[in-house]
């Protein structure tokens, strides 16, 4: 029971199959972030302000879309870049 709950937050990547599965989940998360960010940026450009988002958020959306592409190719660099970008955005 506890092992299953831990895997939801921190997946087991001890074998290739599970590592690929975790990478695909991360890819879909990056796609979701890119899509929602694009939606809010588009609304901001159209004149509807949604929180602190403005048109420059399209740059963030493009970065996350690129990270999602890299994750679809199982790129370690894309995984690290996604994590670093997420941390930078949480700090600022």
How far is C-alpha 5 from the geometric centre of its chain's CA atoms?
21
pTM reported for the whole predicted model: 0.85
Q: What mean pLDDT do residues 76-91 have?
A: 93
Residue 14 banded pLDDT, cuts 50, 70, 90: confident
Contact 18, 8 (CB under 8 A): no
Closest CA to 61 of 28, 34, 90, 31: 34
Which residues, at least 6 apart from 69, have a Cβ–Cβ distance to it below 8 Å?
Answer: 78
- Predicted pLDDT of residue 37: 94
Whether residue 1 has pLDDT greater than 70: no
What's the mean pLDDT when you consider all of the chain? 90
Residue 63 banded pLDDT, cuts 50, 70, 90: very high
């Amino acid at each position: 029971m506890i092992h299953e709950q831990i895997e939801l937050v921190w997946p087991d990547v001890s074998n290739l199959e599970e590592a690929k599965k975790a990478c695909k989940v991360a890819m879909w998360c990056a796609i979701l972030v890119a899509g929602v960010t694009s939606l809010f940026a588009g609304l901001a450009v159209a004149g509807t302000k949604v929180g602190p988002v403005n048109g420059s958020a399209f740059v963030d959306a493009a970065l996350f879309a690129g990270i999602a592409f890299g994750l679809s190719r199982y790129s370690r660099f894309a995984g690290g870049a996604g994590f670093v970008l997420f941390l930078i955005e949480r700090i600022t």
